[in-house]
Amino acid sequence: MNPRRWAAGVAVPLLGVALVHGGPALTARGPLRRAMPRLSGQGQPGGVALTFDDGPDPAGTPAVLDALARLGWTATFFLLGSQVDRYPEVARSIVAAGHEVGVHGYEHHNHLTRSSSWARRDLGRACGQIAAVTGSRPRWFRPPYGVLSAGSLRAAAQLDVTPVLWTAWGRDWEGRPADHVLGHLLRSLDDGGTVLLHDSDCTSRPGAWRSAVEVLPALATELERRGLAVRPLRSHLARSG
What are the residue numbers of the active site?
53, 198
Q: How far is the CB of 120 from Zn ion (least distance, A)?
A: 19
Report if residue 53 touches Zn ion, rule: CB under 5 A. Answer: yes
122 belongs to the binding site for Zn ion (CB under 5 A): no
Pick the closer one to Zn ion by CB: 43 or 102. 102
Q: How far apart are CA 198 and CA 52, in angstroms?
A: 5
Transcribe 9-47 into DSSP letters: --EEEETTEEEE--SHHHHHTSHHHHH-HHHHT---TTE
Residue 47 or residue 170: which is nearer to Zn ion going by CB?
Answer: 170
Q: Which residue is nearest to Zn ion (CB)?
A: 53
Instruction: Rank residues 54 and 201 by Cβ distance to Zn ion and give the closer one.
Output: 54
- Tell me how far apart the alpha carbons of residues 8 and 143 are, in angstroms, rounded to a whole number: 13
Alpha carbon distance 69, 75 (integer Å) = 10
* Choice from 26, 39, 54, 106 touching Zn ion (CB under 5 A): 54
Cβ-based neighbour number of residue 136 at 10 Å? 17
Ramachandran sector of residue 227 (left: φ over 0; alpha: ψ -120 to 50; beta: rest)? left
We find the least distance from the C-beta atom of residue 16 to Zn ion, in angstroms, to be 25
Query: Of 10-18, 128-136, 141-149, 224-232, which part binds Zn ion (CB under 5 A)?
Result: 141-149
Which residues bind to Zn ion, rule: CB under 5 A? 53-54, 144
